[in-house]
Amino acid sequence: MTDQMLMLLTFLIPFFGAIIISRLDNHPNVRELVTIATATSLFVVVLNLYLNFEGSSIIPWTLAEPAEGLAVTFVINKLGLMFALIASSLWLVTSIYAIGYMRSHEEQNQTRFYVMFAIAIAAVMAIAFSDNLFTLFIFYEVLTLSTYPLVTHKGDEKSKRSGRVYLGILMGTSIGLFLFGILIVWQLSGSLTFTEGGVLQGHISSGWIAGLYLLFLFGIGKAAVMPIHRWLPAAMVAPTPVSALLHAVAVVKAGVFALLKVTLFIFGPELLQGSFWYQWLIFLPLLTILLASLVALTRDNLKERLAYSTISQLSYIVLGIMMVNSIGMFGGALHIAMHAFAKISLFFAAGAILITAHKTQISQLAGLGRQMPFTFGVFTIGTLSIIGLPPLAGFWSKWYLIMGGIEFTGAEFIRWSIVSTLLISSLLNIYYLGIIPLKGYFGTSQDTQPSVGIKEAPLPCLVGLAIPAALCIYLFFHPEPFYSLAQIGSQGGLEPGSSGAQNE
């Protein structure tokens, strides 16, 4: 089987899986078995792609070409492979977790849930392997539409309202700004293919670069740079597995992934480095990091606090991308992976707390850690990884982000702002996330609950909790898979490891 075939399978498997699942409404056990089987085979395929990557042929595969030069094309690429690897492995984990969660929470419409989930994953795979901006845009929209039923899963008035906010913001920004940006790029350069070094070089006057970049920065609403962030907290009405996989990993990472692709292969680092106004845009992610952390402090709803934490962490990645030096971008790309594993552990823990103890507010969690030691243990690991302490995977990405900030070539003032923001935000992280396990283990609740002994979530949930937490630790010692993939292809000469700290 050729690599191209394998690549096609990555979106065909979940797509056909979705069709089969939709026919199994009356057989919940078979349906879940099919989900797991689909997720497993997808993971195996992506793993195969990764293992064969060095020797694989990188020939683009075109599905259709609706207009001259405007094709739906896919190609295997490093960054895409990294994204696909994260999403597919975590889909498997989430599927296991979801079975326990959805059943013990007695959710309605479970078939629709699994179907739309599989379609969303298919869209994510297509985004990962898209070869041009046009293809990416199509599946970006597919992803938005397919996650809407998941957000409004509950079907009550509140979730519908949140669904409208979700759809309104994501669709509005993508059509109003993202598509506008794509149109301008096409008009200027006549090409949308992701090309090393960018396609805009020599086609745009330097005054306009910052403006055009702003269209993309806000247009890719999934990256949740303030003020385009409102949809993410709104999406938290969804069931926890959705929040965990889609709104901490797949959807939001699709946003930053798109931005990374645009920055690298449409604008090109050189072009951006030469623009004066562009560097001031860096304050947008910087402000987002700080503001979102501060907002997170004020939220008492656990999932909402995690959502704001996600917003702030996403801006780390955006920041890394916007530094446009190789180390910063490497850190940003690495953070896509590292943050994914940490954040999904946190969400899983939150879900486990919800279905076991039926608590959603942080203020109610006091003492619960003694009842659910395993869940809170995982939560602690996730928290520490987000903060960026060794020996957890989050350390690496934060390390390179700060290195990138130090090597930033723009104005001095901006450089120090970057570094100090990163440090301050780490402190804020410690406070707004760290307080939760502390409260769980050592707090005493007002309404003194008689100690009921250890009462954890159902087994599938525990399995789901254990895997990402274990990965957080494992990836600290062996980050090589993501190291090699996150190395930005375009910058061949600059090895990120050369700055001293590569763990080999």
Query: Minimum distance between the CB of residue 316 and another protein, rounded to whole angstroms?
Result: 30
DSSP codes of every residue in 321-390: HHT-SHHHHHHHHHHHHHHHHHHHHHHHHHHHHHHHH---BGGG-TTHHHH-HHHHHHHHHHHHHHHT-T
Query: Cα separation of 11 and 408, whole Å?
Result: 38
Look at residue 162 and give its three-state secondary structure.
helix
Query: Minimum distance between the CB of residue 182 and another protein, rounded to whole angstroms?
Result: 10
Cβ-based neighbour number of residue 172 at 10 Å: 14
Query: Minimum distance between the CB of residue 181 and another protein, rounded to whole angstroms?
Result: 11
Specify the residue, 127 or 334, whose C-beta has the smaller distance to another protein: 127
Query: Cα separation of 490 and 487, whole Å?
Result: 9
Query: Minimum distance between the CB of residue 242 and another protein, rounded to whole angstroms?
Result: 16
Specify the residue, 24 or 467, whose C-beta has the smaller distance to another protein: 24
Specify the residue, 67 or 452, whose C-beta has the smaller distance to another protein: 67
Query: Cα separation of 148 and 136, whole Å?
Result: 19
Which one, of 164, 126, 155, 163, lies nearest residue 142 by Cα? 126
Query: Minimum distance between the CB of residue 19 and another protein, rounded to whole angstroms?
Result: 13
Cβ-based neighbour number of residue 375 at 10 Å: 27
Burial 460-486 (b: 16+ CB within 10 A, else e): bbbebbbbbbebbeebbeebebbbebb
Specify the residue, 72 or 384, whose C-beta has the smaller distance to another protein: 72
425 Cβ contact list (under 8 Å, min separation 6):
289, 290, 293, 312, 316
Query: Minimum distance between the CB of residue 336 and another protein, rounded to whole angstroms?
Result: 25
Look at residue 67 and give its three-state secondary structure.
strand
Look at residue 263 and give its three-state secondary structure.
helix
Specify the residue, 242 or 329, whose C-beta has the smaller distance to another protein: 242
Specify the residue, 72 or 234, whose C-beta has the smaller distance to another protein: 72
151 Cβ contact list (under 8 Å, min separation 6):
159, 162, 163, 166, 234, 235, 237, 238, 242
Specify the residue, 133 or 282, whose C-beta has the smaller distance to another protein: 133
Task: Fill in the DSSP letter of residue 70.
Answer: E
Helices 251-261/133-151 angle, 10° precision = 160
Specify the residue, 134 or 347, whose C-beta has the smaller distance to another protein: 134
Query: Minimum distance between the CB of residue 171 and another protein, rounded to whole angstroms?
Result: 5
Q: Is omega for the bond preceding 391 within 30 degrees of 0, making it cis?
A: yes
- CA–CA distance from 440 to each of 305, 337, 366, 369 (Å)? 16, 28, 5, 4
Query: Cα separation of 419 and 414, whole Å?
Result: 9
Query: Minimum distance between the CB of residue 118 and another protein, rounded to whole angstroms?
Result: 18
Specify the residue, 184 or 419, whose C-beta has the smaller distance to another protein: 184
Query: What is the sign of the dihedral through the CA atoms of 245, 247, 249 and 253?
Result: positive
Specify the residue, 111 or 499, whose C-beta has the smaller distance to another protein: 111
Specify the residue, 180 or 441, whose C-beta has the smaller distance to another protein: 180
Q: Interface with another protein by CB under 8 A: which residues?
A: 64-67, 70, 72, 134, 137-138, 141, 149, 152, 155, 160, 163, 167, 171-172, 175-176, 179-180, 183-184, 186-187
Query: Minimum distance between the CB of residue 351 and another protein, rounded to whole angstroms?
Result: 24
Work out the widest C-alpha separation in the chain, in whole angstroms. Answer: 71
